[in-house]
Amino acid sequence: MDHSGLLAALIIMLFVFSVGAVPQLGGGLCAHLIQSAGFPCTEHRTKTEDGYLLGLQRVSSRSTIVRGEMGLPVLLIHGLFMAGDAWFMNSASQSLGFILADQGFDVWVGNVRGTRWSHGHVSLSVKNKEFWDWSWQELALYDLAEMIRYVNTITKEKLFVVGHSQGTIMSLAAFTKPDIVEMVKAAALLCPISYLDHITTGFVRRLVKMRVDEIILALGFHQLNFKSNIGTQIMDMMCDGHIHCDIWLSAITGKNCCFNDSRIDFYLEYEPHPSSSKNLHHLFQMIRKGSFAMYDYGMWRNLMRYSQPKPPVFDISQIPTSLSLWMGYGGNDELADVIDVQHTLKELKSKPDLLYIEEYGHIDFLLSIKAKADVYDGMIRFFNSVQKVSSFK
């Protein structure tokens, strides 16, 4: 069996036996990763319209001089099976969350429902299947919407949004809603995704063909938890030196050129975070249908929920041209494939500022040891230019 076939078999085992509570790390994200690096950090909590309790962290510069002249707020939105810690996995000079704070931005870190930093609900237990009854659709229209509202309310400012991977799906969907996008000044999207039908990763294609998402739901499993007992054992099996973890990662995301694979053990102390089976099913629907649409419940349930037989699409042509966009994507990214990125660009009415790096893969935009020079400096120049133009209006 090839690597992708073996990985697919292990993943099926993981999903079928993925039970048990999510391990909680003592203290919050501030105490775990941010304050220990010398950055002031405060924990915040807010509630979505459908009752989920979300944790956010507010991070500022190590310099008292820079803190005294704090700039506009920027909200960081992570990808699938990740949480806000993903922005702080490398050193202070390499991690976007730290870099933005030291550049004087008012950094806010978002964590979507179900992750270890946002693992609560006003009435539902994580053991209830109803707790996991959501996909990226709810993450966009409830979680991201509430995070943006919360930051806007606290700071009294329009904010910048930075998303990676699933964070870009959420952002593009949310920005089609006028009441959400009016609170956003500009957005930077890393590995932007609205369409997924041209992904080239053989592993994910295999899972889609095997209809693993439908099997999981049919078996009654609602939470995808790599940190369950069996999940931990499988992760250890995958990364125990027989086949290097970088190979497994490449099988899923495409080849990554520039992250420090000697830090994988450290990354795995925090990643991956839980998600829902329904979320995976929604993503696989996108691959099969080639659409950027709401969750497909089937014709009759669609009629009841949406008053139409097919789920409504997220029409990204409705994103206003007044919203400044910056996008970075890579030639080795097998999830945010170049053809799909071009499809996204074609649908948009605006013309985003673009950064294309041929050798970059999906994870490089987050964890590359060269990302500051390759990616983040340009993103910060973009934010500063937007702020400068706004100040003259």
CA distance 167 to 178: 19
* Residue where the block lists tokens 């937007």: 386
Q: What is the CATH number of the domain that holds 205?
A: 3.40.50.1820
Confirm whether 305 is domain-assigned.
Answer: yes
Q: Taking residues 46-65, report their average pLDDT.
A: 94
**Signed CA dihedral, 100, 101, 107, 109: sign only:** positive
Confirm whether 347 is domain-assigned.
Answer: yes
Q: Taking residues 287-310, report their average pLDDT.
A: 97
Q: Taking residues 58-64, report their average pLDDT.
A: 90
Confirm whether 317 is domain-assigned.
Answer: yes
Q: Is the pLDDT of residue 195 over 90?
A: yes
Interval 260-296: pLDDT, tens: 888 888 888 898 899 999 999 999 999 999 999 999 9
pLDDT for res 144: 98
Question: Sorting pLDDT into bands at 50, 70 and 90, what band is 17?
Answer: very low
Confirm whether 8 is domain-assigned.
Answer: no
Confirm whether 342 is domain-assigned.
Answer: yes
**Over the chain, what is the mean pLDDT?**
89
Within 196-293, residue ranges assigned H as helices are 202-210, 212-218, 229-238, 245-253, 264-270, 277-289
Interval 342-366: pLDDT, tens: 999 999 999 999 999 999 999 999 9
CA distance 89 to 72: 23
Q: Is the pLDDT of residue 15 over 60?
A: no
pLDDT for res 225: 86
CA dihedral 274, 275, 281, 285 (to 10 degrees): -120
Residue 316's CB is within 10 A of a number of other CB atoms, namely 21
Give the domain range for residue 338: 26-391
Backbone torsions φ then ψ of 214, nearest 5 degrees? -70, -35
Confirm whether 16 is domain-assigned.
Answer: no
Q: Annotated active-site positions, please?
A: 165, 333, 362
Number of domains in the chain: 1
Confirm whether 321 is domain-assigned.
Answer: yes
- Residue 57 carries which DSSP code? E
| All residues at 6 or more sequence positions from 144 whose CB lies less than 8 Å from its CB, including other chains | 77, 110, 112, 170, 171, 174, 180
pLDDT for res 16: 46
Q: Taking residues 375-384, report their average pLDDT.
A: 98
Coil, strand, or helix at residue 269? helix
pTM: 0.92
Question: Pick the residue with more confidence: 375 or 6?
Answer: 375
pLDDT for res 240: 56
Q: Is the pLDDT of residue 2 over 90?
A: no
- CA 2 vs. chain centroid, Å, equals 29
Confirm whether 346 is domain-assigned.
Answer: yes
- Residue 358 carries which DSSP code? T
Strands 159-164 and 41-47 come out as unpaired
Pick from 313, 360, 317, 314: which is nearest to 336 by CA?
Answer: 360
Percent residues over pLDDT 70 in the chain: 86
pLDDT for res 261: 81
Q: Is the pLDDT of residue 338 over 70?
A: yes
pLDDT for res 242: 42
CA distance 106 to 309: 44
| All residues at 6 or more sequence positions from 65 whose CB lies less than 8 Å from its CB, including other chains | none
pLDDT for res 246: 62
CB distance 190 to 96 below 8 Å: no
Interval 88-131: pLDDT, tens: 999 999 999 999 999 999 999 999 999 999 989 999 999 999 99
Question: Sorting pLDDT into bands at 50, 70 and 90, what band is 303?
Answer: very high
Q: How far is CA 389 from CA 156, 353, 354, 383, in A?
A: 19, 15, 19, 10
Query: How is residue 211 written in tokens?
Result: 């209809």
